[in-house]
Structure 1
Amino acid sequence: MSFPKYAEYKESGIEWLGKVPEHWDVFRMGILFAEVAESGNDDLPVLQVSIHHGVSDRELSESESDRKITRIDDKSKYKRVVPNDLVYNMMRAWQGGFGTVKVEGMVSPAYVVARPKIDFQTQFIEHLFRTPQAIEQMRRYSHGVTDFRLRLYWDKFKNVRVALPDKSEQQEICDYIDVETSKIDALVAEQRRLIELLKEKRQAVISHAVTKGLNPNAPMKDSGIEWLGDVPEHWEVCSLRRYAFFVDGDRGSEYPNENDLTSDGILFLSSKNIVGGKLDLKESKFISHEKFDALNRGKAQDGDLIVKVRGSTGRIGEMALFDVGAYSFETAFINAQMMIIRTGNKLTPKYLSKVSQSIYWMEQLSVGAYGTAQQQLSNKVFSDLFVTMPPVTEQAEIADFIDLKVGEFDSLETEAEQAIELLQERRTALISAAVTGKINVRDYASLETS
């Protein structure tokens, strides 16, 4: 849909806004708002302020507040807010951390609360300050050595200038934005649901292939394991230790530290290098050949499976195949958060890597994991895992089939992710054009909301 422009424009005198509709007026924020710091009380809900969604209209739960803000027992230190107040996070203003208050409540003392001095729609200002050009302006007005130390203080913020139409037009533009962004958000939600369904379907296909095989007419037998059920009659089900052994990362005195890492040499793998069942080497680190030679364990070779056995990021138990041909590294060293599984002749590493993505494998790992702050998996947990064992030729067929099907799912998932990116770009562009007066949505607003 294309939108008309306004009939006449004028120079706003504001570099980041440029020309604005002739009838729009320019204001300093200090004319529109006054900073307020009213004390909260125990009867008011504590509201969340998000860089993505503005100010919530519900109280933060205890679990959410632990993540988002630090609770303070003395509620008088919180700041009371009322509907139409503008709240911003002085540390996140350069990321669009602004919001319009919808219900009476209180916010963290870390936020700035600005109350309108004249009658207008604060939500219009919120939309404006979330546009890319306004965010860059907030960065310029903020003070700090690095991005995450930037602070936007009221004394600077009050001097920011904006251009506004009258209140009725502000409302028309806000109404239109609400209608159009809700449509876009619904489309984004559909694409996200599709991605989740694709992930579920991918795992179901993998799980079926490594527990039932590819031949639907194959004779079946009871596996002897209640939660595994029937498997093809000619398959074996056994503990992993029967056909594999395990190599820990070296934790001795020669273990590399930050000072040992170099820009080239022997590849040094950490748990962050395992992403989606593959090795991600975009941010590779290395150790010298001399340092590598001094280590006793944790040295990977072609065909090894590198496993994440502890850590706070990603899924523990996730593994990736170390394929010399694919990665062009003859060997690598694993850090202490990882383990190597080395298989024998009757169990191919590629097949086992597919098994590791199945539901039945993950459920076994979830039972064996231990630890509170950081979950871990031991060698014994892996050695006791049950693994389905088709003949080697069939293992190869299953692995190739899974690669084919997963490739199809990955393509569909990529398309969905690209659709989401385009929709979000359109959402940002639409809001930006509307609140800066580059397009005239008033007629469309009245049609959409009538």
Structure 2
Amino acid sequence: MEWLNSTPAHWSKAPIKYLALAASSVFLDGDWIESKDLSDDGVRYITTGNIGEGFYKEQSSGFITEKTFNKLDCTEILEGDILISRLNKPIGRACLVSELNFKTVTSVDNVIFRTDESYNKKYLVYLFSSNYYFQHTGNLARGTTMQRISRGLLGNIRIPVPLLSEQVIITAFLDHETTKIDNLMEKQQQLIELLKEKRQAVISHAVTKGLNPDAPMKDSGVDWLGNIPEHWMLKRAKFIFRKMQRPISKHAGIITAFRDGHVTLRQNKRTDGFTFAIKEIGYQGVLKGDLVIHAMDGFAGAIGVSDSNGKCSPVCSVCIPHKKTQVYTSYYGYLVRQLAVTNFIQSLSKGIRERSTEFRFNEFSELPLPIPNYEEQIFIFKYIKRQEEKIDVLLQKQLQQIDLLKERRTALIAAAVTGKIDLRDWTPPASSTEASLAAEEATA
């Protein structure tokens, strides 16, 4: 492997599995636990989804009973273990197990790596987060639908192993430098969130208050609307829109209402993560310009105007105006989505899925909606599009900055764990905590 050829001459090299040779050490797969084995409480069960690139991801997890734990002869994860994911990109990503508030086991696609005491675990996790390592694990992975690497191949990967004292210094250096980079990325992310909030505030104000700050206002009598311009009328949605049930053409593509408000051909955004129906029972035609409301995901923002012709599932309400000369659908795409943004749909809370509310045309049709005059609807829509374009430019700049910082972070880790940066004489700034920690670990 090329990455080993360029490491310092005094560093050794060893297969990963050779770093766990002591009697108390472990390099083995997690447990084969099926859905039928899961329980509501007991021993916590975590999967590959909990393993991030160098960090543990706290997310939903299941449980198994103590009886199942004993029956399957499960291996308990201990604090200080390294978990390596053999499944899903980036393959081989790893994290260090810190505090565990539950007795815990993991899935078979995670390797439990309990190293010998002569290795610095944080150094190894950094190593398992480097692009050189991911390139190698990616080349070894096999599978058509879901790629994975076998524990045997993973364990045979040879990695650079500096002296323990250097491992400690490299870890302290990377802790110090990546923390600075992570703080910069966090600030960029905060700016992104502020820009998103600004965009939503612009949309909300424009579609419910209009664009004339001097316009006389009146109480709409509708909680989610509040005050509206005095000259706007209110009508129930069924008098503004009607529900369509068009036939579908033979080669029509599938239209999806996404939670970000985009309604488009599924192929325009992504195809992974969807279940494809064998029989498209009840599918209906959609035309460009139709208002589409997803009954199950509308609460989360899956409401908008289709930008394409195609077909969609019966879970969507496809709506067109009664009078196209009085109703500009693109304006109402933004307005109706406010029902989700303001949590009005969620407040209906009749859904059978967790965090979901069914919002079908029967519910929508009875809701009062404002009606600005037609020209004002167009003017509001065009204003929103201009503001969105400006904000999107700023968002893109922030995202580019984050990408550059990620690249810098990745390159720094790769250079440090392969010895391209000589850190033997590096010392942390006196004010940082790395100095004392490094000293303690080096003398431990």
Please classify the TM superposition score into its range, dividing by the shorter chain length.
0.7 to 0.9
Tell me by how many angstroms 1:192 deviates: 2.0
2:411 maps to 1:413? no
1:309 to 267, 272, 295: 295
Partner of 2:169: 172
Q: Percent identity?
A: 28
Paired amino acid for 1:130: S
How far does residue 172 in structure 1 lie from its aligned partner after superposition? 0.8
Q: What runs of 5+ residues in structure 2 fail to find an aligned partner? A: 32-40, 270-280, 436-444
Alpha-carbon distance in 1 for matches of 2:397, 2:178: 21
Aligned to 1:347, the other structure's residue is in SS state coil
Of 66, 80, 92, 1:73 maps to 66
CA contact (8 A) 1:84 1:116 kept: no
Contact 1:55 1:102 in 2 (8 A): no
1:376 is aligned to 2:358: yes
1:336 is paired with a residue of what secondary structure? coil
| Matching residue of 1:348 | 328
Question: Structure 1, residues 149-206: CA drift from partner, whole Å, max 9, x if none?
Answer: 52422x4433321222211111111011111111211222222222222222212111
Aligned residue number for residue 152 of structure 1: 150
Cross-structure match for 2:441: none
1:76-100 per-residue CA deviation (whole Å, 9 max, x = no partner) reads 4442344544332343586233233
Indicate the SS of the match to 2:159.
Answer: strand
Shift of 1:349: 0.9
Q: Which residue of 1 aligns with 2:180?
A: 183
1:192-341 maps to which residues of 2 (within 5 A)? 192-248=189-245, 265=251, 267-271=252-256, 274=258, 276-281=260-265, 283=267, 298-301=284-287, 303-310=289-296, 315=300, 317-322=302-307, 331-341=309-319
CA distance, structure 2, for counterparts of residue 210 and residue 361 of structure 1:
13
Asked if 2 retains the 8 angstrom alpha-carbon contact of 1:16 and 1:137, the reply is no
The SS at the match of 1:138 is helix
Give the 3 Å change call, closer, same or farther, for CA 33–23 of structure 1 in structure 2: same
How many angstroms apart in 2 are the aligned matches of 1:296 and 1:442?
68
Helix, strand or coil for the counterpart of 1:158?
Answer: helix
Offset of residue 124 of structure 1: 1.3
Query: Which of 389, 411, 431 is residue 413 of structure 2 equivalent to?
Result: 431
Matched-pair contact (CA < 8 Å) for 1:25–1:165: yes
Structure 1 partner of 2:274: none
One-letter code of the match for 1:353? G
Is the contact between residue 38 and residue 79 of structure 1 (CA under 8 Å) also seen in structure 2? Answer: no
Structure 1: segments with no counterpart, 5+ residues = 1-13, 286-294
Which residue in 1 is equivalent to 2:96?
Answer: 100
How much has 1:220 moved relative to structure 2?
1.6
Structure 1 pair 320–43 and aligned structure 2 pair: CA distance change class (3 A) = closer
Is the 2:301–2:337 Cα contact (8 Å) retained in structure 1?
Answer: no
2:130 corresponds to: 131
Are residues 359 and 199 of structure 1, via their aligned partners in 2, closer, same or farther at CA, if it must alter by over 3 Å? farther
Contact 1:84-1:121 within 8 A present in 2 as well: no
Report SS of the residue matched to 1:303: coil
Deviation at 1:385, TM superposition (A): 2.0
User: Could you tell me how far apart the structure 1 residues matched to 2:29 and 2:378 are?
Assistant: 69
Distance 2:158 2:407 in 1: 25
Normalised by the length of structure 2, the TM-score is 0.77
Measured on the aligned residues, the alpha-carbon RMSD in Å equals 3.6
**Whole-angstrom distance in 2 between the partners of 1:43 and 1:368:** 34
1:375–1:20 CA distance, 2 compared to 1 (3 A): same
Letter aligned with residue 131 of structure 2: P
Corresponding residue of 2:273: none
Are 1:93 and 1:138, in contact at CA under 8 Å, matched by a contact in 2? no
Cα deviation 1:101-151 (Å, max 9, x = unaligned) = 445764326243333335121221221122122123234455x43362524
Structure 2 counterpart of 1:96, one-letter code: G
Query: What's the secondary structure of 1:17's corresponding residue?
Result: helix
Does the aligned pair in 2 maintain the 1:203–1:358 contact within 8 Å?
no
Give the deviation of 1:304 after TM superposition: 2.3
CA–CA separation in structure 1 for the residues paired with 2:198 and 2:411: 34
Q: Give 3-state SS (helix, strand or coil) of 1:162's partner.
A: strand
Whole-angstrom CA distance in 2 between matches of 1:364 and 1:81: 43
Count of aligned positions = 397
Structure 1 CA distance for aligned equivalents of residues 42 and 319 of structure 2: 57
The yes-or-no answer on 1:358 pairing with 2:357 is no
Q: Is the 8 A contact 1:321 1:349 kept in 2?
A: no
TM-score, normalising length: structure 1:
0.76
What is the deviation of 1:356? 2.4
Q: Secondary structure at the match of 2:267?
A: coil
